Amino acid sequence: MHIDQALQLIRDVPNFPKPGILFKDITPLLSNGAAFNSVTKEFASFADSSTVIAGIEARGFIFASAVANSLGSGFVPIRKAGKLPHESVSAKYGLEYGVDTLEIHKDAVSHGAKVLLIDDVLATGGTIAAAIDLIQRIGGDVVHVLALLEISGLSGRQKINETYPQIPITSFLVS
């Protein structure tokens, strides 16, 4: 299946999780093996086996772990507060419908490690910017940010580019 066909499986769900939010539901894409494989291969084309793959909770985990497995690379989870069992660092961030906190283990990557950061949606940019901050604070070097889809009206790309202009961002679907 071609990536464009896979992306057509994403559906809009109005007023979820709050009124006024148009949620992009990726579960139809995930449940279609050919579509999921197509997206995973496209993400993997941006990395090599020396790259550590980081994914943001929760849906970023799905793609990032599949990419890491396909490349034989390590996978680093970036989680919501209170979910990691070992010593971690945290960052608060704003999102389209509130404020949250992300955490990463202090020893998740070695100093200077090349990190490919994957999430499902680039919206306001707060989540991805916080993840980049965390990776850099523990010594990693984010070499590329990938998102399955981007909501351009929320200006997340611009927010990230203002703080991290050296990091390329690729989104497969922009709405």
CATH (domain of 136): 3.40.50.2020
pLDDT at 175 > cutoff 90:
no
> Residue 80 falls within a domain, yes or no?
yes
Sign of the four-CA dihedral 38, 39, 42, 43 = negative
Look up the domain containing 64 and give its range: 49-174
- Residue 50's pLDDT is 76
Over residues 128-154, mean pLDDT: 96
In a domain, 134, yes or no: yes
User: pLDDT, tens digit, for every residue of 119-130?
Assistant: 999 989 999 999
Instruction: Check if 59 is active-site.
Output: yes
In a domain, 93, yes or no: yes
pLDDT band, residue 23 (cuts 50/70/90): confident
Q: What is the pLDDT of residue 95?
A: 66
Instruction: Tell me the backbone φ, ψ of residue 145, rounded to 5 degrees.
Output: -115, 130
Q: For residue 131, what is the enclosing H or E element?
A: helix 126-137
> How many independent structural domains does the chain possess?
1
Please say if the pLDDT value at position 97 is more than 70.
no
pTM for the model stands at: 0.94
d(CA 86, CA 167): 28
Cα(130)–Cα(67) distance, integer angstroms: 21
Q: Of residues 11, 42, 87, 96, which has the active-site annotation?
A: 96
Classify residue 75: in a domain, yes or no: yes
Q: Is residue 94 part of a domain?
A: yes
Does residue 61 sit within a domain? yes
- Does 40 map to a domain? no
Using 50, 70 and 90 to split pLDDT, how confident is the model at 99?
Answer: confident
pLDDT of the residue at 21: 82
Catalytic-labelled residue, pool 42, 59, 79, 150: 59
Does residue 21 belong to any structural domain of this protein? no
Question: Does position 96 have pLDDT exceeding 90, yes or no?
Answer: no
